[in-house]
Amino acid sequence: MSKFLIVGLGNIGEEYAHTRHNIGFDILDFLAKEHDLKFRPDRLADVAELKYKGKQLILIKPSTYMNLSGKAVNYWLQAEKIAIENCLVLVDELALPFGKIRLGPKGSDGGHNGLKNIQEVLGTTAYPRLRFGISNEFGKGAQVNYVLGKWNDEEKKTLNDRIKIAADAVKAFAFAGLARCMNEFNTK
Protein backbone atom coordinates (compact mmCIF):
# COMPACT_ATOMS: atom_id res chain seq x y z
CA MET A 1 0.00 0.00 0.00
CA SER A 2 1.45 3.37 -1.04
CA LYS A 3 1.89 5.86 1.80
CA PHE A 4 1.45 9.62 1.69
CA LEU A 5 2.12 12.31 4.27
CA ILE A 6 -0.45 15.11 4.14
CA VAL A 7 0.64 18.12 6.20
CA GLY A 8 -1.85 20.83 7.09
CA LEU A 9 -0.06 23.96 8.26
CA GLY A 10 -1.48 26.02 11.08
CA ASN A 11 -0.94 27.17 14.64
CA ILE A 12 -2.19 25.30 17.67
CA GLY A 13 -4.42 27.04 20.18
CA GLU A 14 -8.00 28.23 20.25
CA GLU A 15 -7.04 31.83 19.34
CA TYR A 16 -5.80 30.60 15.94
CA ALA A 17 -8.67 28.20 15.18
CA HIS A 18 -10.38 28.85 11.83
CA THR A 19 -8.16 31.79 10.89
CA ARG A 20 -6.85 32.28 7.36
CA HIS A 21 -3.39 31.06 8.43
CA ASN A 22 -4.91 27.78 9.70
CA ILE A 23 -6.55 26.72 6.44
CA GLY A 24 -4.26 23.67 6.32
CA PHE A 25 -5.70 22.44 9.63
CA ASP A 26 -9.24 23.16 8.41
CA ILE A 27 -8.77 21.13 5.21
CA LEU A 28 -7.52 18.15 7.23
CA ASP A 29 -10.36 18.54 9.74
CA PHE A 30 -12.81 18.44 6.81
CA LEU A 31 -11.19 15.24 5.47
CA ALA A 32 -11.27 13.65 8.91
CA LYS A 33 -14.95 14.50 9.40
CA GLU A 34 -15.81 13.30 5.89
CA HIS A 35 -14.22 9.89 6.61
CA ASP A 36 -15.21 9.67 10.30
CA LEU A 37 -11.61 9.90 11.56
CA LYS A 38 -10.30 11.31 14.84
CA PHE A 39 -6.97 13.05 15.28
CA ARG A 40 -4.83 11.81 18.16
CA PRO A 41 -1.96 13.68 19.80
CA ASP A 42 1.38 12.15 18.84
CA ARG A 43 4.99 13.22 18.49
CA LEU A 44 5.17 16.82 17.16
CA ALA A 45 1.66 16.62 15.63
CA ASP A 46 -1.95 15.55 15.86
CA VAL A 47 -2.28 12.55 13.57
CA ALA A 48 -5.03 10.64 11.76
CA GLU A 49 -4.78 7.88 9.16
CA LEU A 50 -7.00 7.64 6.10
CA LYS A 51 -7.13 4.58 3.88
CA TYR A 52 -8.41 5.65 0.47
CA LYS A 53 -8.62 3.49 -2.67
CA GLY A 54 -5.63 1.35 -1.71
CA LYS A 55 -3.55 4.29 -0.48
CA GLN A 56 -2.63 5.18 3.09
CA LEU A 57 -2.69 8.89 3.94
CA ILE A 58 -1.03 9.98 7.17
CA LEU A 59 -2.66 13.31 8.02
CA ILE A 60 -0.69 15.55 10.36
CA LYS A 61 -1.37 18.91 11.97
CA PRO A 62 2.00 19.96 13.44
CA SER A 63 1.86 20.96 17.10
CA THR A 64 5.13 22.88 16.76
CA TYR A 65 3.56 26.19 15.72
CA MET A 66 3.87 27.39 12.13
CA ASN A 67 7.46 28.63 12.34
CA LEU A 68 8.79 25.17 13.34
CA SER A 69 6.66 23.03 10.99
CA GLY A 70 9.74 21.50 9.36
CA LYS A 71 10.58 19.60 12.53
CA ALA A 72 7.24 17.74 12.42
CA VAL A 73 7.37 17.17 8.65
CA ASN A 74 10.88 15.71 8.83
CA TYR A 75 10.05 13.49 11.81
CA TRP A 76 6.93 12.00 10.17
CA LEU A 77 8.60 11.51 6.78
CA GLN A 78 11.33 9.51 8.55
CA ALA A 79 9.05 7.66 10.98
CA GLU A 80 6.66 6.52 8.24
CA LYS A 81 9.42 6.04 5.61
CA ILE A 82 7.62 8.25 3.10
CA ALA A 83 9.39 9.69 0.05
CA ILE A 84 9.35 13.48 -0.17
CA GLU A 85 7.42 13.37 -3.46
CA ASN A 86 4.60 11.64 -1.52
CA CYS A 87 4.38 14.52 0.95
CA LEU A 88 1.79 17.24 0.29
CA VAL A 89 1.88 20.46 2.32
CA LEU A 90 -1.39 22.45 2.61
CA VAL A 91 -0.74 26.14 3.10
CA ASP A 92 -2.45 29.55 2.96
CA GLU A 93 -1.41 31.82 0.09
CA LEU A 94 -1.73 35.62 0.00
CA ALA A 95 -0.84 35.82 -3.71
CA LEU A 96 -3.95 33.90 -4.78
CA PRO A 97 -7.56 35.12 -4.79
CA PHE A 98 -9.76 33.76 -2.02
CA GLY A 99 -10.49 30.04 -2.41
CA LYS A 100 -8.29 29.54 -5.49
CA ILE A 101 -6.20 26.36 -5.30
CA ARG A 102 -2.77 25.87 -6.83
CA LEU A 103 -0.87 22.60 -6.66
CA GLY A 104 2.76 22.33 -7.60
CA PRO A 105 5.82 20.09 -7.19
CA LYS A 106 8.09 22.77 -5.71
CA GLY A 107 8.51 26.48 -5.18
CA SER A 108 9.82 29.27 -3.01
CA ASP A 109 8.53 29.94 0.48
CA GLY A 110 6.99 33.21 -0.75
CA GLY A 111 7.67 34.75 2.65
CA HIS A 112 5.61 32.06 4.43
CA ASN A 113 7.34 31.13 7.68
CA GLY A 114 5.96 27.57 7.73
CA LEU A 115 7.30 26.84 4.25
CA LYS A 116 10.56 28.61 5.07
CA ASN A 117 11.15 26.30 8.04
CA ILE A 118 10.22 23.16 6.09
CA GLN A 119 12.74 24.13 3.40
CA GLU A 120 15.44 24.80 6.00
CA VAL A 121 14.90 21.47 7.76
CA LEU A 122 14.48 19.34 4.62
CA GLY A 123 17.19 21.21 2.69
CA THR A 124 15.04 21.49 -0.45
CA THR A 125 12.19 23.41 -2.04
CA ALA A 126 11.21 20.34 -4.09
CA TYR A 127 8.18 19.00 -2.23
CA PRO A 128 4.56 19.13 -3.41
CA ARG A 129 2.26 21.74 -1.97
CA LEU A 130 -1.35 22.81 -2.22
CA ARG A 131 -1.66 26.57 -1.85
CA PHE A 132 -5.11 27.82 -0.81
CA GLY A 133 -5.79 31.44 -1.74
CA ILE A 134 -6.63 33.79 1.10
CA SER A 135 -6.20 36.95 -1.09
CA ASN A 136 -4.40 40.06 0.07
CA GLU A 137 -7.23 42.41 0.98
CA PHE A 138 -5.50 44.32 3.76
CA GLY A 139 -4.05 47.78 4.27
CA LYS A 140 -0.42 48.72 4.63
CA GLY A 141 1.09 47.21 7.78
CA ALA A 142 -1.97 45.02 8.45
CA GLN A 143 -0.72 41.72 6.98
CA VAL A 144 -0.18 39.91 10.29
CA ASN A 145 -3.64 40.81 11.60
CA TYR A 146 -5.20 39.84 8.27
CA VAL A 147 -3.48 36.45 8.05
CA LEU A 148 -4.20 35.64 11.70
CA GLY A 149 -7.75 36.99 11.38
CA LYS A 150 -11.02 35.16 10.91
CA TRP A 151 -12.76 34.84 7.54
CA ASN A 152 -15.16 37.66 6.70
CA ASP A 153 -18.89 37.09 6.13
CA GLU A 154 -18.55 37.12 2.34
CA GLU A 155 -15.77 34.49 2.43
CA LYS A 156 -17.72 32.30 4.87
CA LYS A 157 -20.51 31.91 2.28
CA THR A 158 -18.31 29.74 0.03
CA LEU A 159 -15.50 28.67 2.37
CA ASN A 160 -16.81 25.14 2.98
CA ASP A 161 -17.25 24.56 -0.75
CA ARG A 162 -13.66 25.66 -1.38
CA ILE A 163 -12.37 23.50 1.50
CA LYS A 164 -14.21 20.50 0.02
CA ILE A 165 -12.49 21.07 -3.34
CA ALA A 166 -9.11 21.23 -1.56
CA ALA A 167 -9.92 18.00 0.33
CA ASP A 168 -10.85 16.33 -2.97
CA ALA A 169 -7.51 17.52 -4.39
CA VAL A 170 -5.68 15.85 -1.48
CA LYS A 171 -7.33 12.51 -2.28
CA ALA A 172 -6.65 12.96 -6.01
CA PHE A 173 -2.98 13.67 -5.24
CA ALA A 174 -2.65 10.29 -3.51
CA PHE A 175 -4.80 8.36 -5.96
CA ALA A 176 -4.01 9.88 -9.38
CA GLY A 177 -0.64 11.60 -8.83
CA LEU A 178 0.44 15.22 -8.77
CA ALA A 179 0.42 15.88 -12.55
CA ARG A 180 -3.19 14.72 -13.04
CA CYS A 181 -4.23 16.44 -9.83
CA MET A 182 -2.70 19.74 -11.04
CA ASN A 183 -4.53 19.44 -14.40
CA GLU A 184 -7.86 18.90 -12.67
CA PHE A 185 -7.70 21.26 -9.70
CA ASN A 186 -5.52 24.21 -10.76
CA THR A 187 -8.34 25.33 -13.05
CA LYS A 188 -11.12 25.24 -10.41
Reported as a single tens digit per residue, the pLDDT across 14-49 is 999 999 999 999 999 999 999 999 999 999 999 999
CB 91 within 8 A of CB 10: no
Assigned CATH topology for domain 2-185? Rossmann fold (3.40.50)
Check residue 105 and give its pLDDT.
Answer: 96
Active site residues: 21
pLDDT tops 80 at residue 1: no
Neighbour-count burial for 148-160, b at 16+ CB within 10 Å, e otherwise: eeebeeebeeebe
CB 46 within 8 A of CB 151: no
* % of residues, the chain, pLDDT over 90: 90
State the DSSP code for 150: B
CB 141 within 8 A of CB 104: no
Which amino acid is residue 75, in one-letter code?
A: Y
